A and B are shown apart, each in its own frame.
Chain A
């Protein structure tokens, strides 16, 4: 069954006063309004969230949201896949409709993080790691430092090329009213910011963020009764890599991204060259580069050139992270994968404002851990 996106919305991202329930309700109600459906129409409700229990002592967020927005007695389920919970939610919501189990599914991704210090939030996130790595004080940013050094050394890549990813994504976020940062940065600013995990610096990394994003899924046949123009899920995929990050044969290759990409392109019956716009998981600059290579948008060791040469800029051949990405739109863990798809939904329907690009087919890639769990999805506009 062809699955359509009937609506999409998100809260502004950043440091927000509301808690996880408030943020989720805000995005959910805006999304139902966009889809022009009522809470009682919802058969299935999925809530993508990494760690609301650890962050604010609130578990059971799927039931809380069902009650708060008047969706009871809809079937409700929390979807957890660490920082790829949003992408996993896309997969679950797509499955619910594609299988015929649900005619109308609401997916809400949400996370509230900024009330904690960066160090405390970092330890909660690092709790996804294996005990033999955790004991050494690893953080997700530390894996990025190890990987970036290996990548720069192995392929003789200039360090400043990674800064171009941050510069591009900050520039894009300036045109996104929902983004956390509306501040342009230059290469010099990135390269002179404080070291986080050498050779990477503060401006190579995404911030800690509060926010929520939501989408409504239904059969394409039903979507036609509501609207003339809508977005469909053309392909979707998901895969895992090793839990112990150091056990991977090649630290510069994102195997789960490549596996997920292959499934996604196979289902959609298209090739990387046919993608018009992409939202990739730039938790750190080097990850955008490695995903470009794993998706086949660039050869091994060449992905860094795309930001430097402007290929991935708003006016380039393949605009990447038009929203500002995790880097500058912000990264509220469980919300991110849903927000990526909201950006593609808006781009494909021509509702992306000052950052609008010409696109009929858009891709999302959401990464959990340091490439541990990955989902990707390809969306097309149906007119």
Chain B
């Protein structure tokens, strides 16, 4: 797998005890074991737990910027992700990840020229 294709998948990370996180951590925050597996959420659906439409946004960020806290069920475990949405959402809505090449303008950010990644996944309402 090349780095380019890896970047276009949305992975959660799992330790031997089954705890899931997004993003990855050097050790599982719940049990301190190393995270050894990934779970691909790219084609999965999650549910909106809460959301906000932000009108006052930083330089280089779209305005308004609707953000949603989304929970995915993976077997008996759950994992949460906070991300922008592509359209208006309501609490309880089903959404799916959609890849976006540039989430905000790097040149207008205090993190310009750093290791910050600027691509990622927003959430799209499931029709």
Contacts and interface: CB of A to CB of B under 8 A. Distances in A.
B57 A139 contact: yes
Contact of B67 (A118, A122, A136, A195): A136
A269 interface: no
B91 interface: yes
A135 B104 contact: yes
Query: Which of B22, B51, B58, B122 neighbours the largest number of chain A CB atoms within 10 Å of its CB?
Result: B58
Interface string A230-246: 00000000000010111
Nearest to A118: B56
B114 to A, nearest CB: 9
Given A123-B58, A135-B104, A153-B50, A247 B80 contact: yes
A139 B116 CA distance: 16
Interface string B92-125: 0000000000011000011100011111101000
A148 B53 CA distance: 12
A126 B108 CA distance: 13
A127 B111 contact: yes
Contact of A120 (B59, B80, B117): B59
B69 A247 contact: no
A119 B55 contact: no
A160 interface: no
Contact of A137 (B22, B50, B91, B103): B103
Nearest to B65: A137
A251 interface: yes
Interface string B54-68: 111111011001010
B34 interface: no
Contacts of B61: 137
A270 B11 CA distance: 47
Contacts of B117: 131, 135
B55 A194 contact: yes
Contacts of A153: 50, 91
A198 B58 contact: no
Interface string A148-159: 111001000000
Contact of A244 (B23, B56, B83, B118): B23
A124 B21 CA distance: 26
Contact of A139 (B51, B56, B69): B56
Interface residues of B, number: 38
Given A123-B59, A135-B104, A150-B49, A141 B82 contact: no
Contact of B49 (A197, A242, A251): A251
Nearest to B78: A249
A147 interface: yes
A196 B50 contact: no
Contacts of B120: 132, 135-136
Contacts of B41: none
B52 interface: yes
A134 B69 CA distance: 14
A145 interface: yes
Nearest to A152: B50
A242 B58 CA distance: 23
B29 interface: yes
B62 A137 contact: yes
B53 A124 contact: no
A138 B91 contact: no
B56 A196 contact: yes
Contacts of B49: 150, 251
Contacts of A198: 52-55
Contacts of A119: 56-59
Contact of A246 (B29, B55, B81, B119): B81
Interface of A: 54, 118-120, 122-124, 126-127, 130-139, 141-142, 145-150, 153, 194-200, 242, 244-247, 251
The 7 closest A-B pairs by CB, nearest first: A145-B52, A137-B61, A246-B82, A123-B58, A150-B50, A198-B53, A197-B52
15 contacts: A118-B56, A134-B111, A135-B103, A135-B119, A136-B83, A136-B103, A137-B58, A139-B58, A141-B54, A150-B69, A195-B55, A246-B80, A247-B29, A251-B49, A251-B50
Interface of B: 21-23, 29, 49-59, 61-62, 65, 67, 69, 80-84, 91, 103-104, 109-111, 115-120, 122
Given A136-B103, A141-B54, A200-B52, 8 more contacts: A118-B56, A123-B58, A134-B111, A135-B117, A136-B82, A136-B84, A139-B56, A146-B82
